[in-house]
Structure 1
């Protein structure tokens, strides 16, 4: 099969495209011929050697994709050859064929295209877990999304609006701010403005995927409110004093999506909830930009440069 692979860690230039051996189907796995593969910033970190990556010779990046089942293991009874499945946490995804453990396969409604499903897949499930497991807000609550124009931020904001919360955001440009207004934001602050001083103790929940802005997020969170920390897109977060949190009765929440996708039943139920938002047009992902898998190095360069605000997809 063809795959995008690398033999040493480094920049996009280490990526190669060529033939490697097909994966072997095991008793509890599905062989999936991929049609669309999702590219995420975690893939950049893995290529650089900054994130854990599964051992393989050569290395194959990627964890998210969709495709058609071409073979099933002898212990698999719930799927058949020819069915379409999505996966969001299966290694070696940057390839024409991926071995998917049966408990990590997700069925997708027929009304969703392959591109739509992958565009909302991992980032949408992340947004769903942040909103419904960690924050647990009520209708009418004022909430803040740092980086509201990012991949997770856009989907999270729409989920919160659909759930009846009053959404504010922080964006780095007028164009990104306008995009946030178009998905339902009540107000969008520019990153360079002194918005945290004018909105101290204002938000029931502040969602922070930037990392470096964590103290600002805590500053604007209400007493007994929650700051939900979920990423370091802007750099490592500063140290937080737990005594200061206790004094102001503020809660710092965090978690790992994989701890909540703890069974095939839970995984499908969460995906079905997300797909309902999409099918009822309460959540609409920005159109994705598609590259051939052979153009993977350029896709990595564009993702690192922030050249496109939407999802980047790879097609075998």
Structure 2
């Protein structure tokens, strides 16, 4: 088969579409013939050498795929060869085939094409696990979503609204602000001209930015507020005012989906299938796709993502 290989750490030109060995399913795994994968910020970090891989992880980038099951490992129940599925991965999605634990496989939601389904697992699992399972977002609370124009952001705005929260989001520019409001955001703040901290307080903040936003995030949280940091787009370090944390009884939590155990991921995926898939099938949560590219042009996808002009997900399609 072919896969996108990182020749050495560096820019997008370090991605190469080349021949590699086919995967075989271990016990409790299935092999998926990949129809499509989707880009995530973690893929860019991995390409730069800033995202250490968990032991045993495929070295190829790609945290989600859609496709058809072509092989089933020992002990797998509930999945059969030929089924159309999508799946959350620890790596290896930029390829023609991938082996994945059966607990991380999902059906394709009704009304979503097989290609589009590739863009669902990572964003939905990230948003649901952090907003609901970690932060405990409740109806009536105010949620701030940073990066409301990206794949995570567009999903978080909609799921937050579906859960009954008041949703505020930061975006870059009027077009992304208009999209955020169309998706249900009660307020869209252009971070280039406004300070989101002035529009608080917020009960829950979902942050993909990292260090540069830490102080303002903490200052703008309400009492008993929860800050969930899931990305480091603008800084690895920051100073934390512990007086603010103690006085307001704040929770500051850093999480990644990739490093969780297979058992934890299986629990999250089961919850997503149960709670988020009905939101998608009813139209309450819509997939936002910026564009599709051939998987052999993954480097171009990475350039687009790093430039920051895209809205929603960038999908890589196998020829």
TM superposition score normalised by structure 2: 0.89
Q: Distance in 2 between matches of 1:110 and 1:179?
A: 24
Calculate the TM-score normalised by the size of structure 1.
0.90
Asked if the contact 1:85–1:105 (Cα under 8 Å) also holds between the matched residues in 2, the reply is: yes
Distance 1:135 1:74 in 2: 36
**1:312 offset after TM fit, Å?**
0.9
Select 1:273's aligned residue among 268, 272, 275: 275
- 1:106 is matched with 106
Q: Quick check: 1:10–1:48 contact (8 Å CA) kept in 2?
A: yes
Gaps in structure 2 of 5+ consecutive residues: none
| Aligned-partner Cα distance in 1 for 2:237–2:182 | 29
Structure 1 position 208 matched with structure 2 position 241: no
Alpha carbons of 1:84 and 1:268: their partners in 2 closer, same or farther (altered >3 Å)?
farther
Give distance in 2, aligned partners of 1:266 and 1:127.
10
Structure-2 separation of matches of 1:275 and 1:155? 12
Structure number with greater Rg is 1
CA 278–243 in structure 1, closer or farther in 2 if over 3 Å, else same: same
Backbone CA RMSD of aligned residues: 2.4
Gaps of 5+ in 1: none
Give the conservation status (yes or no) of the 8 Å contact 1:207–1:217: no
Matches within 5 A, 1:188-227: 188-193=188-193, 195-196=195-196, 198-199=198-199, 202-211=201-210, 212-227=212-227
Distance change in 2, residues 1:263/1:298 (3 Å): closer
* Aligned-partner SS, 2:46: helix
Structure 1 position 306 matched with structure 2 position 308: yes
After TM superposition, give the deviation of residue 197 of structure 1 in Å. 5.8
Distance in 2, Cα, partners of 1:266 & 1:11: 32
CA distance in 1, matches of 2:55, 2:265: 24
- Give the deviation of 1:54 after TM superposition: 6.4
CA-CA distance at 1:104 after TM superposition = 2.4
User: What is the CA deviation profile of residues 207-255 of structure 1, one whole-angstrom value per residue up to 9, with x for unaligned ones?
Assistant: 2221121211111111222222222222225121333311233332333
